[in-house]
Amino acid sequence: MGSVLRSASRRKKRKRIGPPQVIRREDYQEQGVNGRLELIRALIPLGLIAVYEELEAEVEQLAGQRYSRKPEGAKYYRHGSNHGSVKLAGQRIPVSVTRVRCPEGEVPLSSYRRLHKGEDHDEGLFRRLLYGISCRDYEAAAEAVPGAIGLSGSTVSRQFIEASQGKLREFQERDFSGQDIVAIFVDGKSFAKDQMVLALGIQMDGQKVMLGFVQTETENTRVLVNFFRSLLDRGLDVSRGTLVVIDGAKGLRSAVKKAFSKRALVQRCQWHKRENVISHLAKSEQAHWRRRLQKAYERPTYKEAKEELLKLHAELEELNQSAARSLAEGLEETLTLHRLGVFANLGRSFKTTNCIESVNSMAERKCGKVDYWKNSAQKHRWFASALLDIEPRLRKVMGYRQLYKLRDALMTDLGIKSEELISKRAA
| Ordered alpha helix ranges (H), 118-195 | 123-130, 138-141, 153-172
The residue among 261 and 237 whose pLDDT is bigger is 237
Q: Report the chain's mean pLDDT, rounded to a whole number.
A: 82
Q: Reduce the secondary structure of 15-44 to three states and give it as a string.
A: CCCCCCCCCCHHHHHHCCHHHHHHHHHHCH
Q: Is 173 helix (H, G, I), strand (E, B) or coil?
A: coil
pLDDT at 5 (0 to 100): 43
Among 40-44, 76-80, 81-85, 224-228, which range has the highest average pLDDT? 224-228
**Average pLDDT over every residue of 122-127:** 60
The predicted-structure confidence for 171-206, as pLDDT tens digits, reads as follows: 999 999 989 999 999 998 887 777 889 999 999 999
Instruction: Look at residue 205 and give its three-state secondary structure.
Output: coil
b/e 91-103 (16+ beta carbons within 10 angstroms → b): bbbbbebbbbbee
pLDDT at 142 over 80: no
In the structure, what pLDDT confidence band is assigned to residue 37 with cuts at 50, 70 and 90?
very low
Q: Residues 85-108: what's their mean pLDDT?
A: 81
Position 85 confidence tier, pLDDT thresholds 50, 70, 90: confident
Q: What is this structure's pTM? A: 0.72
pLDDT in tens, 23-36: 666 665 666 645 54
For residue 317, pLDDT beyond 50: yes
pLDDT in tens, 394-412: 999 999 999 999 999 999 9
Whether 335 shows a pLDDT value over 80: the answer reads yes
Mean pLDDT of 244-249: 89
Residues 6 or more apart whose CB falls under 8 angstroms from that of 102 comprise 75, 76, 77
Instruction: Kindly list the strands in the beta sheet with 91-102, ordered across the sheet, starting from the edge strand earlier in the chain.
Output: 77-88, 91-102, 105-106
Q: State yes or no: pLDDT of 4 exceeds 50.
A: no
Long-range contacts of 226-233 (CB under 8 A, 24+ apart): 227/197, 227/199, 227/255, 228/199, 228/255, 228/256, 228/259, 228/260, 229/259, 231/176, 231/199, 232/259
Q: Using 50, 70 and 90 to split pLDDT, how confident is the model at 58? A: confident
Q: Which of 188-197, 271-280, 373-382 has the lowest mean pLDDT?
A: 188-197
Minimal CA–CA distance to 143: which of 158, 126, 124?
Answer: 124
Closest CA to 294 of 320, 274, 272, 316: 274
Position 160 pLDDT exceeds 70: yes
Neighbouring C-alpha atoms within 13 Å toward the C-beta of 190: 2
Supply the pLDDT for residue 370.
81
Domain extent listing, the chain: 15-168, 178-420
Task: Classify residue 59 by burial, with Cβ atoms within 10 Å: 0-12, 13-18, 19+.
Answer: buried
How high is the pLDDT of residue 322?
95
Per residue in 341-372, pLDDT (tens digit) is 999 999 999 999 999 999 999 988 888 878 88
Instruction: List CB contacts of 149: < 8 A, sequence separation 6 or more.
Output: 13, 15, 16, 85, 91, 92, 93, 94
Q: CA–CA separation, 77 vs 179, rounded Å?
A: 58
pLDDT of residue 127 exceeding 90, the answer is: no
Neighbours of 80 (CB within 10 A): 8
The pLDDT of residue 133 is 55
Amino acid 148: pLDDT: 55
On the question of pLDDT at 1 being above 50, the answer is no
Per-residue pLDDT for 281 more than 90? Answer: yes
Percent of the chain with pLDDT over 90: 47
SS3 52: helix
Residue 242 pLDDT exceeds 90: yes
Quick one: average pLDDT of 276-297?
95
Beta-bridge partners for 265: 243
The pLDDT value recorded for residue 374 is 85
